[in-house]
Amino acid sequence: MKVLKFGGTSVGSVENMTNVKNIINDGEKKIVVLSAMSGTTNQLVAIGQDIEAGNSAAAVEKVTTLHETYKVTVDNLLQNGDLNASVKAYVANVFSFLESCASKTFCVNLENQIVAQGELLSTYMFNAFLNQEGVSSTLLPALDFMRIDENKEPDIAYIKENFKKVFEATPDSEIYITQGFICLDTEDQISNLQRGGSDYTATIIGAAFLAEEVQIWTDIDGMHNNDPRHVENTHPISNLSFDEAAELAYFGAKILHPQTVTPVRADNIPVRLKNTMEPSAHGTLISSVTAGDGIKAIAAKDGITAIKIKSARMLQAHGFLKKVFEIFETYKTSIDMITTSEVAVSLTIDDDSNLEPILAELDKIATIEVDKNQSIVCLVGHEVVNHDDTFRLFKILQDVKIRMISYGGSQNNISLLIDSKDKINTLQKLNTYLFELVTP
Ligand code: ASP
Ligand code: MG
C-alpha cells in the first residue's frame, strides 16, 4: 500500500481537489495525507500573533475573513445539500472555536490548537467531497495515532500500534484520509511537526506500516537542481539517493520538510515527489540508488548566524572545543557548519533563540564576533568532494566573498557560508557555470 501526501496548493481550490480525486481514485487502497489549504496556516499563525500581541479585534477580523473564504469553497465544492450543510456546520464550529480563542490568554498550547485547525478543515472537506463523488473513503483522525516524544521526535512504537488500531477499525474503505502536520505531545496536548510537517507525517506513516512507497504531491515537478524561486533555467532531478535528498532538504530546498526522509531510509521505502498539476511528469524518485557522481543540486538556507570564537588558549591546548560545544549543548542549539584554525573556531547556527546567553558564556572563555543574515549554500551530489568538475566551483566563486567553507564533512556535500545579500547572485552563477557548463 502507498501513502500519498498532497500539499496546500493541491487542496487549495475545487479544480485542484478534483485533480487530487482523479489521481487517488485508481481502485487501489491507499493512505492520503493532506496539508491545510494554501495560505490557511499562515493566516492561523497571524491570528495567534494578534492574540499574543493583545490585539483580539484584529484576530477576530482575520477569523471572520477566513471563515467567509471557507464558506465559498464549501459551496463550490459540495452541491449535495446534506453534505454541504453538514460540512458548513463543521466549518462554523471550527471558526467559532477560533473566535473564542481571541479572548483567551496566549500560550504555546493555544497557538498549537489554532494552527491545527487548517488540516482538520481540509481533511473534513475533502472527505465529504469524495463521498459526494462516490469514492469510498474514511477519515482517520491523526490525533488518534500521531504522537511526539519528549525530544519532539515521532514516537514510532506508539504510532505503529495506534495507527494499526484505527486503520483496522474500518477495513472496507478504499481511501484513508488523515491530517498531516498535527500530532499529540507526551501530555496528550495538540502539537505539530513544525511548518511543512505534512511531508514528515507521510513518511512517518509510511515507516509505521512499511508502505510500498511514499508520494509527496506538490505544485512543482520534483526537486530542482537549484532554487527555482530565485534562479532561471533550473530543471527537475529525476533520481536522488536518501543521503542527497536529506542534505538538500536540511539545507534549504523548500520543497521538503528537513526530516522527510529520516523515517523511511532505514527500511528503504522510496519517496516519490510528484506534481498534482502535471501528474504524468516523472518528478523525483528518492531511493537507496545513487545515480551519477558530481554536483547534482544546490540549495540555500537563510537566517544563519555565524559566530567566530577566538582564543589564544586554543593554541596547542586540548579541551577548548569541548567547552565550546558544551555551551551550545546546554542551550539545545545545534551547530550546522564549523571550521577551525589554530586560534579560532567559526561555527553557524540557524536557531538564534538562545543567542544572548550563548554569547555571554562564550565571552568568558574567548573573544567573539557575530555575523547575522548569513546564508549557507549547499552543493550536493554523490562523491561531490572527489569529482573532477568540483574545481570549477572555486573559479566561479572567485568574486564572491566566502565567509566559511566546509569541504569533506561528508562525501556528498560542500557548504559555503556567504552574506545573504550575495545569495541570489551566487546561486545564479553556480547554476550557469556548473550546470550549463559555460566556461567562466
Ligand atoms: N500546513 C502546515 C504548514 O503550512 C503543514 C504543511 O503544509 O506541511 O506548514
Ligand atoms: Mg510543504
Taking the chain (440 residues) in consecutive chunks of 10 residues, what is each chunk's mean pLDDT?
Answer: 96 94 95 97 98 96 98 96 97 98 94 98 98 95 97 94 95 95 97 96 96 96 90 90 90 83 96 95 94 85 95 77 94 92 91 96 94 94 81 80 88 92 91 65
Nearest ligand, CA 118: 1
Q: Which of 6, 11, 32, 35 to mutate to test the pocket of ligand 1 (most atoms within 8 A of CB)?
A: 35
CA of 255 to the centre of ligand 2 (A): 6
Determine if ligand 1 sits within 6 Å of the CB of residue 118.
Answer: yes
- Looking at the domain that runs over 2-219, which CATH code has it been given? 3.40.1160.10
pLDDT of the residue at 437 = 55
The answer to whether 229 is a known ligand-binding residue is yes
CATH class of 297-436: alpha beta
Task: Please report the atom of ligand 1 found closest to the CA of residue 118.
Answer: 1
Go through the chain and tell me how many residues it has. 440
Contacts made by residues 311-317, CB under 8 angstroms, sequence distance 24+: 311/343, 311/344, 311/365, 311/366, 311/367, 312/343, 313/365, 313/366, 314/342, 314/343, 314/344, 314/345, 314/366, 315/342, 315/343
* 123 labelled binding-site residue: no
Rounded to whole angstroms, how far apart are CA atoms 361 and 403?
A: 24
Q: Are 157 and 207 in contact (CB under 8 A)?
A: no
Q: What is the model's pLDDT at position 72?
A: 96
Radius of gyration of the chain (CA): 24
Boundaries of every domain in the chain: 2-219, 297-436
Confirm whether residue 219 is marked as ligand binding: yes
State if residue 41 touches ligand 1 by the CB under 6 angstroms criterion. Answer: yes
Q: Which ligand is nearest to the CA of 34?
A: 1
pLDDT at residue 319 in the model: 83
- Which residue shows C-alpha cell 572555486? 394
> What pLDDT is stored for residue 438 in this prediction?
47
Q: Classify 173 as helix, strand or coil.
A: coil
Ligand nearest to the CA of 123: 1
Contact 391, 433 (CB under 8 A): no
Interval between CA 256 and ligand 2 midpoint (Å): 6
Is 421 annotated as belonging to a binding site? Answer: no
Our answer on whether the CB atom of 197 is closer than 6 Å to any ligand 1 atom is: yes
Residue 196 Cβ < 6 Å to ligand 1? yes
Q: What is the pTM of this model?
A: 0.89
